[in-house]
Amino acid sequence: MSLQNKVVVVTGGGRGIGRAISLRLAREGAAVAVWDLRAEAAQESVELIRQAGGRALSCVGDAADAEMIVRCAAETRQAFGRISILVNNAGIVGFDRFVTISEAMWDRMLQVNLKGPFLCTQAIVPDMLDAGWGRIINISSSSAQTGAGAMSHYVASKGGLIGLTKALAIEFAATGITVNNVPPGFVDTPMLRESPVDLDAFALTTPMKKSGHPDHIAAAVAYLASEDAGYVTGQTLSVNGGRFLN
């Protein structure tokens, strides 16, 4: 699944699933631009890629900020050339009862998790259209497939991302661009460990009785980014240990 001569943008690539995706796509031969709000984390991912012999750069900013996106896209093109693969991974999570969610909390969740991918895709897809080849991979959530209590704003944002995936897949199907999404299940990440969820206890409620690893998500992304997935578009590739069997 070689990605030689491909240029990848991974939003939220500084840690967790985003870092695993960045490292995996770099191992496949791609030049990787790690976009992240956390400068130190982004640079750590870049250094790991470079130590392994890969090419990478970091760009710091909010993935839901239109000006930042334009700036980072320009820096990526200047360093590596036309962008061919976009992984919309950056996101935030919230655990709040519906009646306590403020309008500001709702707006911020959708701004990052849904508007961010919209802005990033709109800024980068012209590169893919010019090339007649592209891969857009959105990282959604299994909670959007099953529902989840005390997470209505998060579930709504990720459900919207699944819908956006399908709409863009149809719109770009004849252009050489595929658009797919990967909804992680219960994956052991820093963001999950910072949440109120009891990691070990919840893992036992899944069919496999264990949590997933960021590398599991990265493997799915690597497939969808490859030539092998050239006839796959508009699809949801669930990586959840059997949590949602549909």
- Identify the CA nearest to 28 among candidates 88, 85, 91: 85
| CB contact at 8 A, 191 and 93 | yes
* 231 included as an active-site residue: no
**Distant-in-sequence, close-in-space partners of 57: CB < 8 Å, separation ≥ 6:** 32, 33, 34, 46, 75, 76, 79, 80
- 75 close to 119: Cβ distance less than 8 angstroms: no
What is the SS3 assignment for 87? Answer: strand
Q: Which of 154, 164, 226, 241 is catalytic?
A: 154
HSE-CB at 113 with a 13 A cutoff on CA atoms is 27
**Which residues are identified as catalytic?**
154
